Structure 1
């Protein structure tokens, strides 16, 4: 098995921690050892050349990838500003139950990564690898609380290190045209903090563009929600007319089929108690339910929630969690998923144009990414031979918003 940690063993790089709203490029002078003789590596420039033969797009690392010079760097989780209000419903408005900074408890974490690129004249190919010992997919699972006799979900936003119940993710941002400040600040120019008037669940740091009419291309992959899609969410960031407010959210998805739904909550009309919407009886360690499993009856709908937590199912059976540690918070192996997934557009719509083949190999993630150099979509970046494109990337390690960022990068595309 290829070991990503060994892949990075010769990399000794010191990078500058960059705050989300900082616009100045860091000093990138440092010493590092090239990992492959004749190919070398770079700290901040992704060199994209034409392949002799395009790689098989399957998530494996073909020999042809040895032709591509890797960009080797480290992404860091940096502070993003105080939360001001609570984000988790379980906190019931008590700010003392949540950490202060929006990125806590992830602040200070760092992730080594490698990024390679190439093209075949039609498609851009990327090989993105990062260190991560765990394939995180336990995303906000439903569990039974025997003290309250209620079903609830793991927190979306971790309150402490032992409260991380989410999925691994990545994001890339590329400019569409020439947005103000992007060449020097990359992703940081889209990030705005200290926003006003946050309502319950709203963050005081948001992404939107500085000026009306400006756009950036945003690729966002989610380990659970894209498990069947073979793609990431191809989206964009735009300006918002409520700029300066916590309600301003400039992140949008391109048109197309959503490959997931997070509407997994059922509420009993009589008891007013909630539970997961579907369960797969007797299944263990599952982190999503497919639409096909709902359609064929493998997943059974919940039709009632009793005051003692017993669930009535659509097949006229009961599920009693009382005294059963299989439904316990944190470790129960029959906790229920928070998402429903489907194959999505499979590359046939704008939202699924950025195709992804992902594998966790035990020591980290190994992903091949493919997209047309020019899709013709006005909300997509165009990759042109002979140009240099500034970009940034982020890695989420079992986190909803606590992302490690690596900005001030450049993609240089040669014909």
Structure 2
């Protein structure tokens, strides 16, 4: 499927660069431990998005320690990964401690006179090489780093060649999880030397997705929409939106920063069920082993595949946590 190049913000790009370089269903206790740095996917009859499915008891647990690449920042949580597959799909279960579920990405707050727009979200990301990639297999995400400049605004993440591409799964607690998907995206080469964000591309979107809830005014912007059913909700679904009416707000009220709907197209290849409860996230992601899209990695049963992860707590820039080790997906 044709790739649609959608350049994201430099802040998000820096998040991945630093990462590379620098329902709460409980899993049955019988789940075995994994080999170091190896996520072993077990064969099952049929995969689901159920975090408490019985087959998780047979899937080895890989505990991935995460650290921060930024100075003077604390270390990150341990992310526990498990994987299973059937004749068509792979499913990955991720669990990590997080004291809050952050849903305030770019939320509008009305003080009675004017709006401010602040807030971040939690996220979990995976990166997969598309095709054979010896550099990534030996270096992991470091192979995508271009951060030698002392100016962080000149850092970028991607490949050195138009022939080398990466597939990314970018789950976001505020923008994608409420409608059940993970943003399917990727990295290519630096197509525009003046834009450090140009290697980051989002897979083709036919319809839907998350749309910034703003009128776009350069001075004193305001939301375009608000909820027609629950003015206190932090989530605004496209099906619930009504035209923004400032008269309905009181000082201290908030309006969600995005209008959400589940997209169609390659961007929605990774269906997701994420639940925050009891101080932790449990996120289950499922995707076809082979989507048939050229912008996605093909996960071939019996072929080991290197990958990397990053996780963030209420962050949208470089302040997030990563594993510095090369992780490998294997099959059982």
Q: Same fold (TM over 0.5)?
A: yes
Is the aligned partner of 1:375 residue 2:291? yes
TM-score by length of 2: 0.83
Is the contact between residue 177 and residue 272 of structure 2 (CA under 8 Å) also seen in structure 1?
A: no
Tell me: higher relative CO, structure 1 or 2? Use CA pairs within 8 A at least 6 residues apart.
2
Q: Give the number of the structure whose residues are more often strand, by fraction.
A: 2
Deviation sequence 1:103-147 (CA, Å, 0-9, x none)? x8xx3231111101111121111111111121111222112356x
TM-score by length of 1: 0.67
Q: CA deviation at 1:246?
A: 5.0
Residues 1:183 and 1:258: Cα distance change in structure 2 (over 3 Å): farther
Deviation sequence 1:19-43 (CA, Å, 0-9, x none)? 7436xxxxxxxxxxxx966833333
SS in 2 for 1:66: helix
RMSD between aligned residues: 2.7
1:188-199 residue pairs with structure 2 within 5 A?
188-194=142-148
- How many corresponding residue pairs? 307
1:315-330 residue pairs with structure 2 within 5 A?
318-319=247-248, 321=250, 324=251, 327=252
Show the counterpart of 2:21.
Answer: 21
The counterpart of 1:167, out of the listed 121, 126, 141, is 121
Is the aligned partner of 1:64 residue 2:55? yes
C-alpha separation between the residues in 2 aligned to 1:227 and 1:383?
23
C-alpha separation between the residues in 1 aligned to 2:288 and 2:227?
39
The counterpart of 2:301, out of the listed 379, 382, 385, is 385
Runs of 4 or more off by more than 6 Å in structure 1? Answer: none
C-alpha separation between the residues in 1 aligned to 2:262 and 2:76?
32
- Which runs of 5 or more residues in structure 2 are unaligned? 1-17, 23-27
Show the counterpart of 2:10.
Answer: none
Residues 1:320 and 1:385: Cα distance change in structure 2 (over 3 Å): closer
Deviation sequence 1:285-341 (CA, Å, 0-9, x none)? 3223221122xxxx3335xxxxxxxx4xxxxxx3464xx3xx1xxxxxx21111000
Bigger radius of gyration:
1
C-alpha separation between the residues in 1 aligned to 2:84 and 2:228?
46
Is the aligned partner of 1:254 residue 2:200? no
Q: CA deviation at 1:248?
A: 4.3
1:111-130 residue pairs with structure 2 within 5 A?
111-130=77-96
Is the aligned partner of 1:355 residue 2:274? no
Residues 1:37 and 1:230: Cα distance change in structure 2 (over 3 Å): closer
Is the contact between residue 134 and residue 362 of structure 1 (CA under 8 Å) also seen in structure 2?
A: no
Show the counterpart of 1:150.
Answer: 114
The counterpart of 1:220, out of the listed 166, 170, 183, is 170
